[in-house]
Structure 1
Amino acid sequence: MADDTRVQAADVSRLLGSWAVPGEPLPASLAAAFIALIDAGLLAPGTRLPPQRLLAQALGTARGTVATTYDALEARGYLTARQGAGSWVRSSTSDTRAPTTGRLFSFTTAADGVVDLSSGALPASTPVRTALAGQADVDVRPYLNTDGYFPAGLPALRDGIATMNTRDGITATAQRVLITAGAQQATWIAAVDAVGPGDLVLMEEPTYRGAIECFTDIGATIQGLRMVHGGIDVGHVRQGIKRGARVLYCQTGIHNPTGQTMTAAARRELADVINRAGLLTIEDTSSCALTLNGTPTAPTLAGLVDPTLLVTIGTMSKLFWGGLRIGWIIAEPARVNRLTEQRKAIGLATSVVDQLLAINLLTTVDAARRERREFLGAALADTETVVSAVFPDWTWERPAGGSGLWVDTHTDAVRLAEAGKRIGVKLAPGPGFSTYDGLRSYLRLPIWHQVDVLDRSLAALRGSQRSA
């Protein structure tokens, strides 16, 4: 049995979700959850499971529970075990798709009664609520006599996105813009175009979990580079280039999940390294409009890096609402044309109605930015007050923007997340944002929940720790 495909205990914790069923023996619940994952192909045949001790530690349960579960799975033909070597998934019903680590599992509807503190996605802003209320008035008549397919996006929206970005310092024309169904799709399209299996990709550590999932799915080799003074360590980027790095994925503006921003001097130094090496760079600017002070948007690598080396990703979801699936890629026209053909394989075009709504919302960008800044500023202060009161031992660096706190709990956040599952509180521990499943003491905590909800949820979490 090959053991080159391993799954970490933190990955299993994310994939299992809320696996404990009230009134049912823990081994039976855990076995059922494993079987569901294996049958769905989310734990592919040949995957080596974590050692019993490590998985028990991650799940906050006894080693005997995990041992009994593994024995039951082996008896039912779902596992193969070798004494002293480990346990591997086997199944005649599962497919062999590329493994997932569950980093994006929080982007699903939480069960009733569960407080979701695992996602930083914001609720709809006032402009989008107003626009949706009048959606029936959106004029689609000019497009009804066409086939409705605009793979690169409606010309008017491409032009509007180009104009907005140019005003923000990211020079663009409509020909340099590809409209996508959100930034996640944009990241996937850009990643597939840039790298293949085994190619070395450099990323910040921590980084956006959706990007890790994209490059992992492709089979690329990911190297996480430490962050210093709010941005990626430029010296480590140089070292990665010497090792043959093919692509750099980064967020020099408002970084997800830390909320920090790179200094101007460090950004210029990074741009110089990129230009000298000819390193293709995918810069994710999705959170750049979520600034807490200073300019309306955070600065980026645009204008510093050779445009032929830069692919810029953006979205309307952060500023307006996650339900508005409008993202974009800005790149040289030749690359945009190639990426347009690639996106057709996963979606012929973005909904015309959604794009028309987005065109209307572009007229409210300035107001939406002001509202988000005021909302996030007040929410951050409230969240810091609550967290400090309930967990005085937790620490964090105050963010420059974004929708969350990157908190060091100084304890095992994976186990904390497991405890949260059992009391209806959903958390996003650090390994989900790590390129090597590290950062185990960290949580990404959203700041926008109402004070009473956050206080009650964290207090319950604190209580579950004391009773454990």
Structure 2
Amino acid sequence: MSGLNRHISATQLARLVRIDPGTRPYYQALASSVRSLILDGGLAVRVRLPAERHLAAELGVSRTTVTSAYDRLREEGYLASRQGAGSWTELPDSGALGVDNPWVAAESGGLLPMHCAAPAAGAALAAAVEAAAAELPRYALGIGYEPTGLPALRELVAARYTERGAATRPEQILITPGAQQAMNLITLQLMAPGDALVVESPTYPHILDLARLRAARIVPVGIPPDGWHLDLLTSAMRQSAARLAYLMPDFQNPTGRLMGDEKRAELVAAARACGTTLVIDESWAETAVDDVPATRATAAFDTDGRVISIGSASKLWWGGLRIGWIRTTAAMVRRLAVLRAGVDIASPVLEQLVVARLFQDIDAGRAERRRALAASRAALTAALAAELPSWTYTMPHGGGVVWARLPGPTATPLAEAAASRGVRLAPGPWFGVDGTLEAYVRMPYTQSPQVVTEAVRRVAAAFHGGPGPVRRSFEAVTPAL
């Protein structure tokens, strides 16, 4: 019974299921809605559900109706119960779902890379490299190790945070070899085995890898279609006594959602009340595609060093530069700089000089990336409408991916079928825990319009007429409603 210290209230669950009171039979609709929440990651596995009488009162139905829904979920393997312990969410075993381990991805050359949301370099890169190379000899007079990063780049990153509403000094910035290394250092410094880490569901796969490496307890919180529910995040932080929460308010990967300033302020206040440190990944923050209201950096609402921000040059300029950064307190920067001595010592000087050059004309870089992403997003969505009209999604206003929902939980077998057609896909379970999110795939629009159009054509061929496992899997796991 360990790990069942989380629960969801009747009020919270009633708001998530959203069933028309006139639906008949109501118990089947309730069971189906809860099942979908579990599979989509909106309701975590091993969370206690409210007592039947409490949920019935909240929904305005009879207790017998809720009992029948719970019984249905138990029969299907989505609910487990024990006398005196209540009922909690579960998943059927992977064999029953007809899927293989979703975390094992075999490397294969020659496939269209739709599993990776990484854009090509912008036009300004060549000139920035040339200018940085001309500047490098001056730095070669020193030893080349700057554990906190080159002062010139730290100043530019700090200035950008100040522009985004979070007054920042250069000594609050640590330059790292990419955002991934930033996450590694933060979790190494602040996370001990057994600590709880709150994450969104879906979330960035590599933070899950790091959490497992640190032997942390992963506490997923679903993101409903209307965005973050702060009461659910707060409940998760409080109930798990989480020391850290990793969130992506800026064009969240993979949903593409953008958190407004009011919710950011509430989020920071909630973390403060729960004693939780927020690790805010802003890797996509500079990639708005549409005209959206300007948002402040989440750190702008921080008053006690509770927000640690992560940024990267990868999405705006190019991933091959391998330059990222951490914004935190000056004291934490010093501790992280000491810690990294046993990890990577310092970031490469030439790449830092290149990024510093690119920062000096960040508006041009943003405009160029916006044009490219807009063209590829238009191509992707047009191809999806023409080739895969049964797939649904919410149009992202920025970032680089579409989080597409399939008609059934067949993402993993679809990815296998797509590989046989020359496309590597990222199925939903990569972005969740406990085997959830099988009804989703992430479709990036960071490649050229030609590439994404061809990729969708091949994926559609796999989906409609490809190898049999896709269709058979769908038939096997679709509930008989």
Shared fold per TM-score greater than 0.5: yes
Match of 1:168 in 2: 164
Say if 2:197 is the partner of 1:201. yes
Please list, as runs of the form range in 1=range in 2, the aligned pairs for 1:114-133 lying within 5 A after superposition. 114-132=111-129
* TM-score normalised by length of structure 1: 0.75
SS at match of 2:385: helix
Corresponding residue SS for 1:302? helix
Matched, 1:449 2:466: no
> Mean Cα displacement is larger for which, 421-430 or 261-270?
261-270
1:311 aligns with 2:308: yes
Q: Which residue of 2 aligns with 1:463?
A: 461
* Change in CA separation of 1:56 and 1:230 when aligned onto 2, cut-off 3 Å: closer
The superposition leaves residues 259-304 of structure 1 with CA deviations (integer Å, 9 ceiling, x where unpaired) of 1112333222212212222321111111011112336964332221
Q: Which of 205, 221, 225 does residue 225 from structure 1 map onto?
A: 221
Q: Does 1:149 align with 2:145?
A: yes
* CA displacement at 1:388 relative to structure 2: 0.9
Q: In the alignment, what sits opposite 2:286?
A: 289
Which of 362, 368, 372 matches 2:369? Answer: 372
- Normalising by structure 2, what TM-score? 0.73
1:354 to 348, 351, 366: 351
Q: Which runs of 5+ in 2 are unaligned?
A: 1-91, 468-481
Counterpart CA distance in 2 for 1:460 and 1:242 is 45
User: Counterpart of 2:174?
Assistant: 178
Q: Name 1:243's counterpart in structure 2.
A: 240
Structure 1 residues 335 and 154: CA distance shift in structure 2, 3 A: same
* SS of residue in 2 equivalent to 1:443: strand
- Aligned-pair distance for 1:377? 1.9
Q: Secondary structure at the match of 2:363?
A: helix
Give deviations 1:39-70, integer Å, cap 9, x for gaps: xxxxxxxxxxx9894696448xxxxxxxxxxx
**Among the aligned pairs, what percent are the same residue?**
30
The answer to whether the 8 Å contact 1:382/1:451 transfers is yes
What number of residue pairs does the alignment pair up?
A: 373
* Pair 1:242–1:419, CA change in 2 (3 A): same
Counterpart among 263, 266, 275 of residue 266 in structure 1: 263
What does residue 324 of structure 1 align with? 321
Asked if 1:159 corresponds to 2:134, the answer is no
Query: How far does residue 363 in structure 1 lie from its aligned partner after superposition?
Result: 1.0
Give the CA deviation at 1:135.
Answer: 5.7
Residue equivalent to 2:417: 419
Task: Please list every run of 5 or more consecutive structure 1 residues that lacks an aligned counterpart in the other structure.
Answer: 1-49, 60-99
Contact 1:182–1:315 at 8 Å: present in 2 too?
A: yes
User: Aligned residue for 1:432?
Assistant: 430
SS across alignment from 1:140: helix
Q: Is the 8 A contact 1:315 1:328 kept in 2?
A: yes
Q: Would the aligned equivalents of 2:133 and 2:350 in 1 still touch at CA under 8 Å? A: no
Letter in 2 for 1:197: P
2:212 is equivalent to residue 216 of structure 1: yes
| 1:89-140 CA distance string (max 9 Å, x none) | xxxxxxxxxxx945xx69x7x613x1111011111111113323x2674312
**Distance change >3 Å, CA 177–CA 452, structure 1 → 2:** closer
What SS does the corresponding residue of 2:441 show, helix, strand or coil?
A: strand
The structure-2 alpha-carbon separation of the partners of 1:230 and 1:156, relative to structure 1 and needing over 3 Å to count, comes to farther
Change (3 A) 1:141 1:461: closer
Taking only aligned residues, the RMSD between alpha carbons, in angstroms, comes to 2.3
Cα distance between partner residues in 2 of 1:298 and 1:122: 23
CA shift, 1:213, in A, is: 1.3
